[in-house]
Every structure is written in C-alpha cells, then in structure tokens.
Amino acid sequence: MTEARASGADDSRRRTGRLLGGAVALVAVATCAAIGWATGEPAIGWLFLLLALAVTLAVGALRARELAQRRRRFEAELGGSLDSARAQLDVESLRALRAARGDAVTARAIQKQLPQLTLAQVAELLHSL
C-alpha cells in the first residue's frame, strides 16, 4: 500500500506539472498572438491563436485520458465499489481531520490514500464520513 501511495503522489505531481505547463504555454502563445495583432501583423496573430487552440485541445485530451485511466484503475483495484474504497480508509482519523481542518484537507487526504479515485468519488466518500 505504501508503494501505491508513493506512486500516486508521483502521478499527481506529474499531472500537476503537465497541466501547469499547458497553462503557461497557453498564456505565452496567447500573448504572442496579442503582440502579433498589436504590431500590425494579423497573420501572425491568427497563427498564434490557432496554436493556442491546439494547446488547449491537447491539454483537454490529456485530462480526459487521465480520467479514463483513473476509472480503469478504480475498477481494477477496488472492483468499482466505493464501499471497498471506504473499507481501505481510516475513517476515524479522517473524521477527526475533517472536524479539525475541514473538508478540503480531508479530501486531499482521501486522494492521497486512494489516488485512483476521481474528485467526484472523493467528494462522495467525504460526504459519507
């Protein structure tokens, strides 16, 4: 279980890096498009705008692929049941954490323990505590 948690944390860092990189690239390309239009070169502006659209679509496709992988991992590792996911959690410590630090911190703790869960599944587990 410890290796799975470490692997999940590494995956989370990689996903965050990809999404952040995509956002930075989108802002950079959109800025170049604005500069192209501002300098009187509309063709360059349109080119960069199309590039920004391509970056946005690529980031969206990566996100969709990641969600599909999470669903497959959830099915494979937990049999697709939130009850089996709940059985793997330390419910009492999560309840104490929720009382002390709130829902957001508790949701992150659940996500750390079971990285194959989607945000909707984490929210459902959180509300069932």
> What are the per-10-residue average pLDDT scores of the chain (129 residues)?
46 64 76 80 79 82 86 81 84 90 91 85 87
Residue 66's contacts (CB-CB under 8 Å, 6 or more residues apart) are: 15
pTM of the model: 0.52
Integer Rg of the chain from CA = 20
**Distance in Å from the first CA to the final CA of the chain:** 22
pLDDT tens figures, 46-60:
887 788 788 878 888
- Clarify whether residues 45 and 99 are in a common domain: no
pLDDT at position 1: 41
Residue range of the domain that includes 7? 1-79
Q: Given the structure tokens 């497959």, which residue do they identify? A: 72
pLDDT at 4: 44
pLDDT of residue 5: 45
Which of 44, 59, 79 lies at the terminal end of a domain, its last residue? 79
Q: Among 61, 79, 97, identify where a domain stops.
A: 79
pLDDT of residue 12: 61
CB 72 within 8 A of CB 116: no
Based on the domain organization, do 91 and 61 belong to the same domain? no
Residues 3 and 40 in one domain: yes
